[in-house]
């Protein structure tokens, strides 16, 4: 009898090795030509993983950024931004939340942001309360010929006056410093911020004339203001400066002058039409880069090594495929992942360069008007500052 039991046990063991119980389920759907959605249910690690793959060789699609309520400080759900794209006669296919945002300042993104080639925010250092020193986080950008990049982009800009003097632009639509120059456009909101009472201030309205390549041309109007809160019209820029910089402006800029304004990114990768930030380059040259990025981008352990819902983006080695990731977390059906695990998942899908976006309750993936993942907040989908979308041309 014992021999029969032993033989039966060996048979069951061999059977389980040859025909293991399924622990990972994968469902793949073609959303459009060149767009594939993959849903992985991993019962080993308790994960629900959504991956959207876009064929970048297919010229039928563009990648654009979306700003909550079309305002620097606005917050809005990704699904609401998706619907507003349709109202603007775009043809959105999918959308994913992207950059981290400064909650105490509404939905202001922590990093640079470009929408349709226009700066919504331009800075040379990331605006993060978690950075202990001046730092710049990795960002995702894509050019007008659909070439993706993940770099630590820094904003740089100059005003060239009529007498050919070059004046440094320190930032666009961001908190100003003493003795500096800031440009404000429509994304700042109705008006420029209130000036500091103990500062000397000067704001000048610049009327847009035309573009010539990467150079913008503006006319200096007679609207000069020393108190801040200058109203912003649709295509105008407001030149805002203070303290010792006022003398330089008064020496080189005069009413009715034509100014050249050059707004660029460093490194210069060409004409970037979409740019949004993240926190943590996860994959570099096809390898897990988390150990290095924790140091370079000052990522603290609680954020990196704890399992959280995650959003992210990446592209293949020859830049012909773009990947959007949404991994659920903080739920019985999906525990979330550490940044190292997230990087490994990206690499397994073919990502050569990968970036971590805002996650947690912000993680939301939309496909054709439907929320595909399961956002972790008990109240449902979270209002965020920035999302990106794939649109059909």
- Residues 188-198 have pLDDT tens digits of 999 999 888 89
- Does residue 250 surpass a pLDDT of 90? yes
pLDDT tens-digit series, residues 57-87? 999 999 999 999 999 999 999 999 999 999 9
Split at pLDDT 50, 70, 90, the class of 11 is very low
End-to-end CA distance of the chain: 73
Phi and psi (nearest 5°) for 31? -80, -45
pLDDT tens-digit series, residues 87-137? 999 999 999 999 999 887 789 999 999 999 999 999 999 998 888 778 999
Query: Residue 343: in which H helix or E strand, if any?
Result: helix 339-349
Kindly report the length of the chain.
393
Q: Cα torsion for 317, 321, 322, 326, to the nearest 10°?
A: -100
Q: How far apart are CA 211 and CA 213, in angstroms?
A: 6
Query: Burial code of 117-147, b = ≥16 C-beta within 10 A, e = fewer?
Result: eebbbbbbbbbbeebeeeebbbbbbbbeebe
pLDDT > 70 fraction of the chain, expressed in percent and rounded? 95
- Does residue 7 surpass a pLDDT of 70? no
Residue 196 pLDDT: 86
């Amino acid at each position: 009898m014992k021999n029969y039991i032993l033989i039966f046990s060996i048979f069951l063991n061999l059977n389980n090795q040859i025909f293991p119980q399924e622990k990972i389920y994968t469902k793949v759907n073609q959303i459009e030509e060149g767009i594939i959605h993959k849903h992985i249910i991993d019962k080993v690690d308790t994960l629900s993983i959504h991956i959207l793959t876009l064929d970048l060789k297919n010229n039928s699609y563009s990648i654009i950024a979306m700003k909550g309520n079309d305002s620097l400080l606005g917050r809005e759900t990704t699904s609401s931004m998706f619907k507003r794209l349709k109202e603007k006669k775009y043809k959105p296919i999918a959308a994913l939340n992207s950059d981290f945002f400064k909650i105490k300042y509404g939905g202001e993104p922590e990093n640079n942001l470009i929408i349709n080639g226009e700066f919504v925010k331009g800075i040379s250092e990331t605006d993060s309360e978690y950075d202990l020193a001046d730092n710049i986080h990795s960002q995702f950008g894509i050019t007008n010929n659909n070439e993706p990049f993940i770099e630590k982009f820094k904003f740089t800009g100059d005003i060239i006056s009529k007498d050919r003097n070059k004046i440094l632009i320190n930032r666009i639509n961001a908190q100003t410093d003493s003795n500096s120059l800031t440009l404000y456009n429509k994304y700042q909101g109705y008006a420029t911020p209130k000036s500091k009472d103990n500062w000397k201030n000067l704001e000048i309205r610049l009327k847009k004339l035309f573009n010539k390549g990467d150079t913008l041309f503006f006319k200096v109007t007679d609207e000069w203001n020393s108190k801040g809160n200058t109203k912003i019209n649709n295509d105008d820029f407001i030149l805002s400066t203070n303290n010792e910089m006022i003398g330089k402006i008064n020496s080189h800029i005069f009413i009715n002058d034509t100014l050249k304004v050059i707004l660029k990114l460093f490194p210069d990768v060409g004409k970037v039409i979409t740019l949004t930030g993240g926190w943590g380059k996860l994959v570099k040259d096809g390898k897990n880069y988390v150990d290095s990025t924790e140091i370079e981008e000052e990522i603290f352990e609680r954020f990196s090594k704890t399992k959280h819902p995650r959003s992210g983006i990446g592209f293949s080695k020859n830049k012909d495929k773009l990947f959007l990731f949404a991994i659920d977390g903080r739920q019985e059906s999906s525990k979330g992942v550490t940044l190292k695990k997230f990087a490994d998942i990206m690499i397994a899908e073919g990502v050569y360069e990968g970036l971590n976006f805002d996650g947690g309750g912000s993680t939301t993936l939309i496909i054709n008007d439907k929320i595909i993942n399961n956002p972790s907040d008990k109240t449902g989908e979270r209002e965020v500052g920035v999302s990106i979308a794939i649109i059909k041309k």
